Amino acid sequence: MNITKQQIDDLNAVLKVEITREDYQEKVDSILRDYRKNANIPGFRKGQVPMGLIKKQYGKAVLVDEVNKLLQDHLNTYLVEEKLDVLGNPLPKQQDNFNWDAEQLAFEFELGLAPDFQVSLKGKKAIPHYKIVADKKMIDDQVARIRKQYGKLVSRPEVGKEDEVSGTFLSEAHEINHKTTLELAKVKSKKALEALKGKKPGDTVTLKTKGLFTEDYLLPSALGVPFDKAKDLDIEVSFTVEEINERQPAELTQELFDRLFGPDQVHSEKEMREKIKDDSEKQFLQQADQKLLNDVTESLIESTRFDLPMEFLKKWIQNTGEKPLTAEEAQDEYERSEKGLRYQLIEGKLISEHGLQVQFEELKDFAKGFIRSQMAQYGQTNPSEEDLEGIAARVLSNRDEVKRLSEQLMSQKLLDLYKEKANLKTREVTYEQFVKEVYG
């Protein structure tokens, strides 16, 4: 077997593979002899079928199969030995009226080659690196929510400004008959609040659904209707008051602190506020990191210029899926995937140039950290090292989990690289400011 490469340009090449009969004949003959031993053909005893008949019936199929195996094995070996960085897989060139009986078989394969390029993390324009802080207003709101959530309900004789009113929404025309509890603090409509003010159990008021609540998502659950039906609903419904309660905020006692944060972790309102601030900012860090990762990715794609073997890739996309695509479908798919392919090449370059690797011990520690955080969500805050080792071993025995965790760990390594090397500008913001700037 002989393989030669013809360089078309920097991004395209053609491999020519020549196979002689000696490369495959012995293997083909061995397979056909096995076929003969086991062939059941009417008129012949098992194992006594003439070899000529076996070759006539199975010879071409066995030949084609063995040649394809040879091609695959030797092409892969050649690409590795020659250190050719290819995109996609080699594409066989169409050969009409191919003669499988020839003494020498010649095949040609198109290659799409990865471009040679440089990556600079020091872009001209600084990328914002958000540091999200929990401000006093956010902490005050969180304390108020906690006190309300763990407070006690006190029955009231009539509806007041901040009460919770249980009752039934009714509209026969729209098939609405649903019991619910209204938190008046979440009722937006001034007319509705005025209508409910001073009402007693047994009283019925008429409310308009449009603009009833401060948030649109509250209406479907209050009326007991699907979101699609509630989305543009603008009708009048009756609401019959059944129960009125005032939620009195909980006192900030040691019992509440222990319930919220675990025994003897927090001992005062000041420590509680510090804990809320610390926990909130740890959660914000994940969002800020993801934003940074996205922004650096976009910046690298934009600033790192290189060509791709576009025509080869479109042809590869067109012919290597579960079913062949039209040229137009392949063009659309290429346009959808081009940005992702570009970043894969950039990422691979960064990983190679900076020696980023995922070692097994690192992966195991990463898995244990992930397991520890998962267990903490279910109240298991102090698992033993033996338990963590056992669970990690089970997780890492799953190939899909290993792949997923490896990708997450490499993403973290890249993020650390960007924080160290990229042109970043720290921007301290509150969470409200972050949401406004990032999501509009």
Write the CATH number for 202: 3.10.50.30
pLDDT above 80: residue 381: no
Q: DSSP letter string over 69-131?
A: HHHHHHHHHHHHHTT--EEEEEEEPP-TT--TTSSEEEEEEEEEEPPP----S--SSPEEEEE
Per-position DSSP letters for 224-245, written without gaps between them: T--HHHHHT---EEEEEEEEEE
Specify the number of domains making up the chain. Answer: 3
Collapsing DSSP states into helix, strand and coil, what is residue 232? coil
104-113: strand order across its sheet? 2-9, 12-20, 104-113, 86-92
If asked whether residues 199 and 294 sit together in one domain, one would say: no
Q: What are phi and psi of 261, to 5 degrees?
A: -120, 0
Could you give the 3-state DSSP secondary structure of residue 307? coil
Question: Is 139 inside a domain boundary?
Answer: no
Q: Is 119 inside a domain boundary?
A: no
Is 206 found in the same domain as 307? no
- Identify the pLDDT of residue 288: 95
In whole angstroms, what separates CA 49 from the centre of its chain? Answer: 58
Structure tokens at 33: 């002899």
Residues 281 and 426 in one domain: yes
- Residues 88-111 have a mean pLDDT of 91
**6, 12 Cβ separation under 8 angstroms:** no
- Whole-number Å distance between alpha carbons of 349 and 100: 42
CA atoms within 13 A on the CB side of 156: 21
Which CATH number do you get for residue 13?
Answer: 3.30.70.1050
The answer on 268 and 230 residing in a single domain is no
Cα gap 71→24, rounded to integer Å? 11
Q: Say whether both 166 and 105 belong to one domain.
A: no
**Among 12, 18, 19, which Cα is nearest to 90's?**
12
Give the domain-ending residue among 225, 248, 271: 248
13 in Cβ contact with 111 (< 8 Å): yes
Quick one: average pLDDT of 77-100?
91
Rounded Cα–Cα distance for residues 78 and 94 (Å): 21
Q: Do residues 167 and 200 lie in contact, with contact meaning Cβ atoms separated by under 8 Å?
A: no
Instruction: For the chain, give the number of residues.
Output: 440
> Residue 36: what pLDDT?
87
Q: How far apart are CA 167 and CA 203, in angstroms?
A: 10
Residue type, 151: G
Looking at the structure, tell me whether residues 234 and 272 fall in a common domain. Answer: no
DSSP single-letter state for residue 164: E
Q: What is the CATH number of the domain that holds 418?
A: 1.10.3120
Enclosing domain of residue 235: 152-248
Residue type, 284: F
- Confidence label for 367 from pLDDT (cuts 50, 70 and 90): very high
Quickly tell me which residue has 């059944």 as its tokens.
Answer: 242
Where is the domain boundary, 248, 273, 301? 248
Q: Is residue 144 part of a domain?
A: no
226 lies in a domain?
Answer: yes
Q: Classify residue 93: in a domain, yes or no.
A: yes
Cα 77 to Cα 64: distance, rounded to the nearest angstrom: 20
173 and 312, same domain (yes or no): no
Give the strand pairing for 164-171 and 152-155.
unpaired
How big, in percent rounded to 5, are the helix, strand and coil portions of the chain? 50, 20, 30
Report yes or no on 56 lying in a domain: yes
pLDDT computed for residue 375 by the predictor: 84
Domain identity same for 337 and 429: yes
Kindly state whether residues 339 and 207 are assigned to the same domain.
no
Q: Are residues 164 and 242 in the same domain?
A: yes
On whether residue 270 sits in a domain, the answer given is: yes
**pLDDT tens per residue, range 159-214:** 998 899 999 999 999 999 999 999 998 999 999 999 999 999 999 999 999 999 99
Do 285 and 418 belong together in one domain?
A: yes
pLDDT number for residue 377: 74
How do residues 392-438 score in pLDDT, each as one tens digit?
Answer: 999 999 999 999 999 999 999 999 999 999 999 999 999 999 999 88
Q: Which residues contact 317 (CB under 8 A, 6 or more apart)?
A: 325, 330, 333, 334, 337
Q: Torsion-angle region of residue 230: left (phi > 0), alpha (psi -120 to 50) or beta?
A: alpha
Torsion of CA 245, 248, 254, 260, to 10 degrees: 60
Element counts in the chain: helices (H) and strands (E):
14, 11
Q: Which of 19-33, 193-207, 366-380 has the lowest mean pLDDT?
A: 366-380
User: What is the pLDDT, as a whole number, of residue 403?
Assistant: 94
CB 129 within 8 A of CB 292: yes
Q: Specify whether 235 is located in the same domain as 383.
A: no
295-343 pLDDT, tens digit each: 999 999 999 999 999 999 999 999 888 888 999 999 999 999 999 999 9
Tell me if 347 is assigned to some domain: yes
Query: What DSSP designation does 175 have?
Result: T
Q: What are phi and psi of 262, to 5 degrees?
A: 95, 155
Higher pLDDT pick, 22 / 95: 22
Domain-terminating residue out of 61, 82, 113: 113
